[in-house]
Structure 1
Protein backbone atom coordinates (compact mmCIF):
# COMPACT_ATOMS: atom_id res chain seq x y z
CA UNK A 1 0.00 0.00 0.00
CA UNK A 2 1.17 3.50 -0.80
CA UNK A 3 0.64 6.89 0.74
CA UNK A 4 0.86 10.35 -0.82
CA UNK A 5 0.87 13.69 0.99
CA UNK A 6 0.97 17.09 -0.73
CA UNK A 7 1.74 20.44 0.89
CA UNK A 8 2.17 23.92 -0.58
CA UNK A 9 4.84 26.18 0.92
CA UNK A 10 5.30 29.93 0.49
CA UNK A 11 8.91 29.44 -0.58
CA UNK A 12 10.58 28.93 -3.97
CA UNK A 13 11.58 25.39 -5.02
CA UNK A 14 15.27 26.16 -4.42
CA UNK A 15 14.59 27.01 -0.76
CA UNK A 16 12.46 23.88 -0.24
CA UNK A 17 15.17 21.80 -1.94
CA UNK A 18 17.78 23.22 0.42
CA UNK A 19 15.61 22.32 3.42
CA UNK A 20 15.37 18.73 2.14
CA UNK A 21 19.07 18.29 1.39
CA UNK A 22 21.23 20.45 3.70
CA UNK A 23 22.22 18.94 7.05
CA UNK A 24 21.67 21.99 9.24
CA UNK A 25 18.18 22.53 7.79
CA UNK A 26 17.09 18.86 7.89
CA UNK A 27 17.97 18.75 11.60
CA UNK A 28 15.48 21.57 12.21
CA UNK A 29 12.42 19.69 10.91
CA UNK A 30 12.99 15.93 10.63
CA UNK A 31 10.68 13.84 12.81
CA UNK A 32 7.11 14.05 14.07
CA UNK A 33 5.87 16.37 16.82
CA UNK A 34 8.00 16.27 19.95
CA UNK A 35 10.96 14.66 18.18
CA UNK A 36 14.26 16.38 17.50
CA UNK A 37 16.95 15.53 14.97
CA UNK A 38 20.45 15.57 16.46
CA UNK A 39 22.10 14.33 13.26
CA UNK A 40 21.61 14.62 9.51
CA UNK A 41 24.70 13.53 7.60
CA UNK A 42 23.56 14.28 4.07
CA UNK A 43 25.09 12.74 0.91
CA UNK A 44 22.53 13.74 -1.70
CA UNK A 45 23.70 12.32 -5.03
CA UNK A 46 22.68 9.26 -7.06
CA UNK A 47 24.07 6.30 -5.11
CA UNK A 48 24.71 8.46 -2.04
CA UNK A 49 23.24 7.68 1.36
CA UNK A 50 22.27 10.11 4.09
CA UNK A 51 22.13 9.08 7.76
CA UNK A 52 19.45 10.92 9.73
CA UNK A 53 18.56 10.49 13.41
CA UNK A 54 15.37 11.45 15.20
CA UNK A 55 15.16 11.51 18.99
CA UNK A 56 11.94 11.02 20.94
CA UNK A 57 11.09 13.23 23.92
CA UNK A 58 12.27 10.45 26.26
CA UNK A 59 15.63 10.17 24.48
CA UNK A 60 15.03 7.07 22.30
CA UNK A 61 16.78 7.46 18.93
CA UNK A 62 15.65 6.08 15.59
CA UNK A 63 18.15 6.16 12.74
CA UNK A 64 17.35 6.11 9.01
CA UNK A 65 19.42 5.89 5.88
CA UNK A 66 18.12 7.50 2.71
CA UNK A 67 19.81 5.92 -0.35
CA UNK A 68 19.27 8.07 -3.44
CA UNK A 69 18.39 6.78 -6.90
CA UNK A 70 17.24 10.08 -8.49
CA UNK A 71 18.55 13.54 -7.62
CA UNK A 72 17.23 16.29 -9.92
CA UNK A 73 17.58 19.66 -8.15
CA UNK A 74 15.27 21.41 -7.39
CA UNK A 75 12.56 19.17 -8.84
CA UNK A 76 12.77 15.55 -7.74
CA UNK A 77 14.32 13.19 -5.20
CA UNK A 78 13.87 9.44 -5.12
CA UNK A 79 15.36 7.37 -2.34
CA UNK A 80 14.85 4.27 -0.25
CA UNK A 81 14.41 4.87 3.48
CA UNK A 82 15.73 2.10 5.72
CA UNK A 83 15.85 1.88 9.48
CA UNK A 84 19.37 1.42 10.76
CA UNK A 85 21.67 1.47 13.74
CA UNK A 86 23.64 4.62 14.54
CA UNK A 87 26.36 3.52 12.11
CA UNK A 88 23.98 3.16 9.17
CA UNK A 89 23.72 -0.66 9.14
CA UNK A 90 20.19 -1.72 8.13
CA UNK A 91 17.91 -3.11 10.85
CA UNK A 92 14.55 -4.81 10.54
CA UNK A 93 11.87 -2.25 11.49
CA UNK A 94 10.18 -4.88 13.70
CA UNK A 95 13.40 -5.18 15.77
CA UNK A 96 12.83 -1.54 16.76
CA UNK A 97 9.24 -2.09 17.83
CA UNK A 98 7.83 -0.77 14.55
CA UNK A 99 5.08 -2.53 12.57
CA UNK A 100 6.23 -5.80 11.02
CA UNK A 101 4.70 -4.87 7.65
CA UNK A 102 7.16 -2.03 7.02
CA UNK A 103 9.31 -3.53 4.26
CA UNK A 104 12.69 -4.73 5.57
CA UNK A 105 14.20 -3.87 2.17
CA UNK A 106 13.20 -0.25 2.77
CA UNK A 107 10.43 2.13 1.85
CA UNK A 108 10.80 3.77 -1.58
CA UNK A 109 10.12 7.52 -1.47
CA UNK A 110 9.39 9.91 -4.33
CA UNK A 111 9.55 13.64 -3.58
CA UNK A 112 8.54 16.20 -6.19
CA UNK A 113 8.72 19.98 -6.02
CA UNK A 114 6.53 21.96 -8.41
CA UNK A 115 6.35 25.76 -8.64
CA UNK A 116 2.89 26.89 -7.53
CA UNK A 117 1.96 30.55 -7.59
CA UNK A 118 4.56 32.27 -5.42
CA UNK A 119 5.51 29.03 -3.69
CA UNK A 120 6.18 25.34 -4.10
CA UNK A 121 3.94 22.30 -4.07
CA UNK A 122 5.76 19.40 -2.39
CA UNK A 123 4.45 15.87 -2.91
CA UNK A 124 5.83 12.89 -1.01
CA UNK A 125 4.87 9.34 -1.95
CA UNK A 126 5.91 6.36 0.19
CA UNK A 127 5.48 2.87 -1.26
CA UNK A 128 5.12 -0.71 -0.11
CA UNK A 129 3.43 -0.76 3.30
CA UNK A 130 1.60 -3.97 4.20
CA UNK A 131 -1.53 -2.61 5.86
CA UNK A 132 -3.86 0.36 6.12
CA UNK A 133 -2.90 0.74 9.80
CA UNK A 134 0.77 1.20 8.89
CA UNK A 135 -0.14 3.67 6.14
CA UNK A 136 -2.19 5.66 8.68
CA UNK A 137 0.70 5.66 11.18
CA UNK A 138 3.17 6.80 8.55
CA UNK A 139 0.74 9.47 7.28
CA UNK A 140 0.43 10.94 10.79
CA UNK A 141 4.20 11.15 11.20
CA UNK A 142 4.73 12.53 7.69
CA UNK A 143 2.06 15.21 8.07
CA UNK A 144 3.55 16.34 11.40
CA UNK A 145 7.05 16.36 9.92
CA UNK A 146 5.94 18.41 6.90
CA UNK A 147 4.28 20.89 9.25
CA UNK A 148 7.63 21.30 11.01
CA UNK A 149 9.22 21.85 7.58
CA UNK A 150 6.76 24.71 7.01
CA UNK A 151 8.07 26.43 10.14
CA UNK A 152 11.65 26.16 8.84
CA UNK A 153 10.69 27.67 5.48
Structure 2
Protein backbone atom coordinates (compact mmCIF):
# COMPACT_ATOMS: atom_id res chain seq x y z
CA UNK A 1 0.00 0.00 0.00
CA UNK A 2 1.13 3.53 -0.81
CA UNK A 3 0.28 6.76 1.01
CA UNK A 4 0.67 10.33 -0.11
CA UNK A 5 1.27 13.53 1.81
CA UNK A 6 0.83 17.05 0.50
CA UNK A 7 1.80 20.08 2.56
CA UNK A 8 0.85 23.53 1.33
CA UNK A 9 1.45 27.03 2.67
CA UNK A 10 -1.40 29.53 2.24
CA UNK A 11 -1.78 33.22 2.91
CA UNK A 12 -4.67 32.47 5.26
CA UNK A 13 -5.34 31.92 8.96
CA UNK A 14 -6.10 28.47 10.35
CA UNK A 15 -9.80 29.38 10.63
CA UNK A 16 -10.03 29.92 6.86
CA UNK A 17 -8.19 26.66 6.14
CA UNK A 18 -10.54 24.84 8.53
CA UNK A 19 -13.57 26.35 6.78
CA UNK A 20 -12.22 25.07 3.46
CA UNK A 21 -12.88 21.52 4.68
CA UNK A 22 -15.93 22.04 6.88
CA UNK A 23 -18.24 24.75 5.47
CA UNK A 24 -20.45 23.89 2.50
CA UNK A 25 -20.16 27.26 0.78
CA UNK A 26 -16.38 27.23 1.04
CA UNK A 27 -15.92 23.58 -0.03
CA UNK A 28 -17.94 24.30 -3.17
CA UNK A 29 -15.49 27.06 -4.20
CA UNK A 30 -12.47 24.80 -4.55
CA UNK A 31 -13.14 21.05 -4.35
CA UNK A 32 -12.05 19.26 -7.52
CA UNK A 33 -9.14 19.77 -9.90
CA UNK A 34 -8.90 22.65 -12.37
CA UNK A 35 -11.83 22.53 -14.78
CA UNK A 36 -14.06 20.73 -12.27
CA UNK A 37 -16.74 22.32 -10.10
CA UNK A 38 -18.37 21.28 -6.85
CA UNK A 39 -22.15 21.72 -7.15
CA UNK A 40 -22.96 19.94 -3.88
CA UNK A 41 -21.23 19.89 -0.49
CA UNK A 42 -23.57 18.83 2.31
CA UNK A 43 -21.26 18.97 5.30
CA UNK A 44 -21.93 17.09 8.56
CA UNK A 45 -18.59 17.54 10.31
CA UNK A 46 -18.74 15.62 13.58
CA UNK A 47 -17.45 12.23 14.66
CA UNK A 48 -19.77 9.75 12.96
CA UNK A 49 -21.11 12.44 10.61
CA UNK A 50 -21.14 11.92 6.86
CA UNK A 51 -20.70 14.69 4.33
CA UNK A 52 -21.90 14.22 0.74
CA UNK A 53 -19.83 16.00 -1.91
CA UNK A 54 -20.15 16.09 -5.71
CA UNK A 55 -17.33 16.91 -8.09
CA UNK A 56 -18.55 17.81 -11.60
CA UNK A 57 -16.27 17.01 -14.53
CA UNK A 58 -15.83 19.45 -17.43
CA UNK A 59 -18.25 17.29 -19.48
CA UNK A 60 -20.92 17.62 -16.74
CA UNK A 61 -20.61 14.20 -15.07
CA UNK A 62 -21.08 14.30 -11.29
CA UNK A 63 -18.69 12.16 -9.25
CA UNK A 64 -20.06 11.72 -5.74
CA UNK A 65 -18.25 10.90 -2.53
CA UNK A 66 -18.92 10.61 1.16
CA UNK A 67 -16.59 11.80 3.91
CA UNK A 68 -17.26 9.81 7.09
CA UNK A 69 -15.57 11.46 10.08
CA UNK A 70 -13.61 9.44 12.63
CA UNK A 71 -11.85 12.36 14.36
CA UNK A 72 -12.75 16.04 14.53
CA UNK A 73 -10.38 18.22 16.54
CA UNK A 74 -12.09 21.56 15.91
CA UNK A 75 -9.97 24.02 14.02
CA UNK A 76 -6.94 21.73 13.81
CA UNK A 77 -7.44 18.15 12.59
CA UNK A 78 -9.93 16.10 10.59
CA UNK A 79 -9.79 12.38 9.96
CA UNK A 80 -12.31 10.93 7.56
CA UNK A 81 -12.91 8.02 5.24
CA UNK A 82 -13.41 9.21 1.67
CA UNK A 83 -15.70 6.79 -0.12
CA UNK A 84 -16.96 6.88 -3.69
CA UNK A 85 -20.73 6.99 -3.73
CA UNK A 86 -23.87 7.66 -5.67
CA UNK A 87 -25.99 10.81 -5.26
CA UNK A 88 -27.75 9.24 -2.27
CA UNK A 89 -24.50 8.40 -0.46
CA UNK A 90 -24.57 4.69 -1.32
CA UNK A 91 -21.16 3.05 -1.72
CA UNK A 92 -19.77 2.76 -5.23
CA UNK A 93 -16.71 1.01 -6.67
CA UNK A 94 -14.37 3.64 -8.19
CA UNK A 95 -13.57 1.32 -11.12
CA UNK A 96 -17.27 1.41 -12.05
CA UNK A 97 -16.81 5.18 -12.42
CA UNK A 98 -13.87 4.76 -14.80
CA UNK A 99 -11.12 5.32 -12.24
CA UNK A 100 -7.97 3.24 -12.70
CA UNK A 101 -7.38 0.07 -10.70
CA UNK A 102 -5.46 0.73 -7.51
CA UNK A 103 -7.83 3.36 -6.13
CA UNK A 104 -9.52 1.77 -3.14
CA UNK A 105 -13.25 2.05 -2.48
CA UNK A 106 -12.41 3.93 0.76
CA UNK A 107 -9.39 6.23 1.20
CA UNK A 108 -8.55 7.33 4.77
CA UNK A 109 -7.67 11.04 4.96
CA UNK A 110 -6.02 13.15 7.66
CA UNK A 111 -6.15 16.93 7.28
CA UNK A 112 -4.33 19.24 9.68
CA UNK A 113 -4.33 23.03 9.60
CA UNK A 114 -2.32 25.75 11.32
CA UNK A 115 -2.00 29.40 10.47
CA UNK A 116 -0.88 29.38 6.86
CA UNK A 117 -0.16 25.65 6.64
CA UNK A 118 -2.27 22.67 5.59
CA UNK A 119 -1.21 19.03 5.45
CA UNK A 120 -3.28 16.35 3.75
CA UNK A 121 -2.44 12.65 4.05
CA UNK A 122 -4.26 10.02 1.99
CA UNK A 123 -3.67 6.34 2.72
CA UNK A 124 -4.08 2.99 1.04
CA UNK A 125 -3.38 3.34 -2.68
CA UNK A 126 -2.33 0.12 -4.39
CA UNK A 127 0.84 1.59 -5.91
CA UNK A 128 2.90 4.76 -6.34
CA UNK A 129 1.45 5.51 -9.79
CA UNK A 130 -2.12 5.58 -8.45
CA UNK A 131 -1.08 7.70 -5.47
CA UNK A 132 0.60 10.12 -7.88
CA UNK A 133 -2.65 10.52 -9.87
CA UNK A 134 -4.43 11.41 -6.65
CA UNK A 135 -1.64 13.82 -5.69
CA UNK A 136 -2.02 15.67 -9.00
CA UNK A 137 -5.77 16.06 -8.46
CA UNK A 138 -5.31 17.19 -4.87
CA UNK A 139 -2.60 19.71 -5.75
CA UNK A 140 -4.75 21.12 -8.56
CA UNK A 141 -7.65 21.47 -6.11
CA UNK A 142 -5.40 23.21 -3.58
CA UNK A 143 -4.30 25.62 -6.31
CA UNK A 144 -7.98 26.57 -6.67
CA UNK A 145 -8.25 26.99 -2.91
CA UNK A 146 -5.18 29.24 -2.82
CA UNK A 147 -6.80 31.47 -5.45
CA UNK A 148 -9.75 32.09 -3.10
CA UNK A 149 -7.57 33.83 -0.50
TM-score range, shorter chain: over 0.9
Corresponding position of 2:30: 29
Q: CA RMSD in A?
A: 0.8
Counterpart mapping for 1:4-153 below 5 A: 4-104=5-105, 106-115=106-115, 120-153=116-149
Unaligned stretches of 5+ residues in structure 1: none
What is the TM-score when the length of structure 2 is the normalising length?
Answer: 0.96
Aligned length: 148
What is the TM-score when the length of structure 1 is the normalising length?
Answer: 0.94
Give the drift of 1:133. 1.3
* Secondary structure at 1:17 match in 2: helix
Q: Is the 8 A contact 1:25 1:152 kept in 2?
A: no
Alpha-carbon separation, structure 2, partners of 1:90 and 1:152: 31
Alpha-carbon separation, structure 1, partners of 2:123 and 2:139: 16
* Secondary structure at 2:125 match in 1: coil
Unaligned stretches of 5+ residues in structure 2: none
* Secondary structure at 2:131 match in 1: helix
Alpha-carbon separation, structure 1, partners of 2:108 and 2:100: 17
- Which deviations, in whole Å up to 9, do the C-alpha atoms of 1:28-51 show, x marking residues without a partner? 000001000000000000000000
